[in-house]
Structures are given as structure tokens and as C-alpha cells.
Structure 1
């Protein structure tokens, strides 16, 4: 039980540092991301090319959803 509480603290810290909302945190958890990896991916001043963590999560989630839909469509096609 102690490890679960620790995870909650890590997620709270990631949410605050990465400026994430509940929906984005839910997406990250659904994809199995680690809160520490989110904190590590915060762009620094020298990394202007890097998207903010919230945008990064949304884009990754979108790609995974599209991939899953394509896979599902292929599976249904092969059944017919």
C-alpha cells in the first residue's frame, strides 16, 4: 500500500511540474507512462524545439488511438 501512495505523490508532482490537467494525467496513466519520465521530458530553455509535456502526451495518445483503430479495422476486414 505504501508504494501506491508513493506513486500518487509522484503523479501529483509530475502534474504540477509539467502543468498537466486531470485528462492529460489520465491519458499518460492509460498509456503506462511513468511520472518521472514526464518530469524528465520537460523542455529546457535550450530545447526550444521540444513540445511541452502536455502536448507531447496528447500527440502520442492520438497516434496510439489511430493505430488501434487501424488495427481493429484490419482485423474486422480479415474476419469477413
Structure 2
């Protein structure tokens, strides 16, 4: 594994930890073309009560784009 691959993996691990995401949610984010930096940037601040948590935001975008509920595996 090269140096760049290690850095990418470390960035995804950091995003997973800071955003409290599961492996499935990380895969969904990758399929949506998101980067670890974009996930970390979208962590809501305490004053942003209107903003969804990152895991819910990923799931809603995934459902909107693919029309499939990842938990059920069924199309909308």
C-alpha cells in the first residue's frame, strides 16, 4: 500500500470516527462521490439545530439519488 493510499484510508477513518458513521454509511458516501473532508465540514454545530446529522444526511441523499432504502434494499 502506497503513501497516498494510507493517507486516504486515514482520512476516511477520521471521518468515520468524527461523524459517527458505520461502514455501510461510508460506502454510501463513497457511492455518492463524497470526500472525507466534505463529511467533516458538514458536521452540524450546536447552533445549527436545523441541520441533519451527517449519517442521516448521507442516507437521505442516497435515497434521493438511487431511490433505494439501503436498510431494506427495496426500491422506493
- TM class by shorter chain equals 0.7 to 0.9
Alpha-carbon distance, 1:31 to partner: 1.3
Instruction: Give unpaired runs (5+ residues) of structure 1.
Output: 67-80
Distance 2:6 2:29 in 1: 18
Structure whose residues are more often helix by fraction = 1
1:32 to partner: Cα distance: 1.3
Question: Could you say which residue in structure 1 is the equivalent of 2:71?
Answer: none
* C-alpha distance in structure 2 between counterparts of 1:46 and 1:4, whole Å: 36
Match of 2:11 in 1: 10
- TM-score, with normalisation over the residues of structure 2? 0.84
| Equivalences, count | 66
Runs of 4+ more than 3 Å apart = none
Aligned residue for 1:27?
A: 28
1:30 CA displacement:
1.3
Bigger relative CO (Cα 8 Å, ≥ 6 apart) = 1
Between 1:13-22 and 1:1-10, the stretch displaced more is: 1-10
Question: Which structure's CA Rg is the greater one?
Answer: 1
**2:46 alignment partner, SS class:** coil
Unaligned residue ranges in structure 2 (runs of 5+): 68-76
CA distance in 2: counterparts of 1:32 and 1:8, whole angstroms: 15
